[in-house]
Structure 1
Amino acid sequence: MADVDTDTLLRWLRTFAASVAAQKDTLTALDAAIGDADHGANMDRGMAAVVDALAATPPADPAALFKQAGMTLVKSVGGASGPLYGTFFLRMAPATGGAATLDPETFAKALRAGVEGVVARGKAEPGDKTMYDALAPALDALDGALSSGESLADALRAASAAADEGRDATTPVVARKGRASYLGERSAGHQDPGATSAALLVAAAATAVAEQEPEQGAG
């Protein structure tokens, strides 16, 4: 299975930024129903800043990329999303071990470290109606597919499908964390905006790695 290089990780974040930009109004509408109506705008601004920062100072390795992305998000995004997504990438950085490329297992381990950072920061648990409800099943699907010998591209496709299912499952749930929890029972019936952007994050990783693997296998 192909290792993930820094160029692929850059493509991941650019793809995620483009997805957020395209879905900005949808994310804002979802957040308007149960939050502050700023998730789309905040994430769009933050990811645009990440793309600009990485273009201005190209990272030398995956750890540098994740650290730069995380710090940029923390500095440029308000609300809860900046600290949570920033923590996600900042926790991924040391989990790479400073490697120049990441084998599938190390990439999966880094993703799990990032999600553990999100949990530590937001105190989220399964079923709380947060981004964790998309990320947790995605990690489990990723690990399961890799342990079965699937390629990273196929494993990430499975992870993306699981993230989408987790996102959709937030709709009937009563929120127990964040701004949405203030609404109590009225939060049910609305898809969680954080889980929605998290599913976009996983889908972007699947896209970026799928684009890399033919290149790696072609020589």
Structure 2
Amino acid sequence: MTSMPDVEFVVRTIAQTAVDNETYFGDLDSVVGDGDFGYSLARGFEIVLSDWDSYDRTDISTFLQKVAMAITGRIGGTSGPIWGTSFLRAAGAVRGKDDLDGADAVAMLRAAIEGIKARGQADVGDKTLLDALVPTTDAIEAALADGKTSDEIVAIAATTARASADATTPMIAKRGRAAYTGERSIGSPDAGAVAVAVIFEALASTWPNREEG
């Protein structure tokens, strides 16, 4: 089972990873996009970290809703609505629950994915973060079904996310600013997909040593 401390650990890791990789994500985005992805993401999650102690922790859903509002209100461009929507939809998937199991985690990811698809008018194959997030969620669900431990599942997720992000390199971007570059988008991975990979890798490296709630 997963409790509030575990959820906080995941959110804080996402936020810190976004801040730490501002330049890297920005450089990736500048190849075919407008280069503001890293900056936008870092500014939004900086707010999450600076306001960390003020968020309502009545339950997991409420906490995630507050994080979503902070992200949406601070991140510019298309990233704010997309990342904010993902947290908001994840919050909705576990409303009223104090403890979560593996199935809840998958439900949160699935809800986030559907929110991103709707908000970004995108799907798998469009060279977006979905091309890493969807296969990773599938891998998590399969690992749960196989009875893997949480440490093993997070490790599998990181490996899948990285392979999936790398697989966006030969694709043509069909959504976002990168879509305007056409075939010039071929040859570099999608920045959002790479961000998903880096986040899961950060979780995989720290999850086994977290303080369990």
The TM-score, its normalising length taken from structure 1, stands at 0.91
1:136-181, Cα deviation, whole Å (9 max, x unpaired) = 1100000000011112231122112111111111111111111101
Tell me, yes or no, if structure 1 residue 47 matches structure 2 residue 45.
Answer: yes
Whether the 8 Å CA contact 1:4–1:103 is kept in 2: the answer is yes
Q: How many residues align?
A: 213
Residue in 2 that maps onto 1:85: 83
- Tell me, in whole angstroms, the C-alpha distance in 2 between the residues paired with 1:205 and 1:82: 22
Whether the 8 Å CA contact 2:6–2:212 is kept in 1: the answer is no
- Tell me, in whole angstroms, the C-alpha distance in 2 between the residues paired with 1:160 and 1:210: 13
Structure 1: stretches of 5+ with no match in the other structure: none
Q: Percent identity?
A: 35
How much does 1:20 deviate?
1.7
Tell me, yes or no, if structure 1 residue 175 matches structure 2 residue 141.
Answer: no
Whether the 8 Å CA contact 1:54–1:68 is kept in 2: the answer is no
Whether the 8 Å CA contact 1:174–1:181 is kept in 2: the answer is yes
In the alignment, residue 191 of structure 2 is paired with which amino acid?
Answer: P
Whether the 8 Å CA contact 2:19–2:42 is kept in 1: the answer is yes
Tell me, yes or no, if structure 1 residue 20 matches structure 2 residue 18.
Answer: yes
- Tell me, in whole angstroms, the C-alpha distance in 2 between the residues paired with 1:144 and 1:135: 14
Residue in 1 that maps onto 2:128: 130
- Tell me, in whole angstroms, the C-alpha distance in 2 between the residues paired with 1:37 and 1:28: 5
**1:42 aligned counterpart, secondary structure:** helix
The TM-score, its normalising length taken from structure 2, stands at 0.93
* Mean CA deviation greater in 118-127 or 135-144: 118-127
1:35-82, Cα deviation, whole Å (9 max, x unpaired) = 111111111111111122332234222101211111111100001111
CA RMSD of aligned residues (A): 1.7
Tell me, yes or no, if structure 1 residue 63 matches structure 2 residue 58.
Answer: no
Shift of the 18–4 alpha-carbon distance from structure 1 to 2, 3 Å rule, reads: same
- Tell me, in whole angstroms, the C-alpha distance in 1 between the residues paired with 2:5 and 2:139: 24
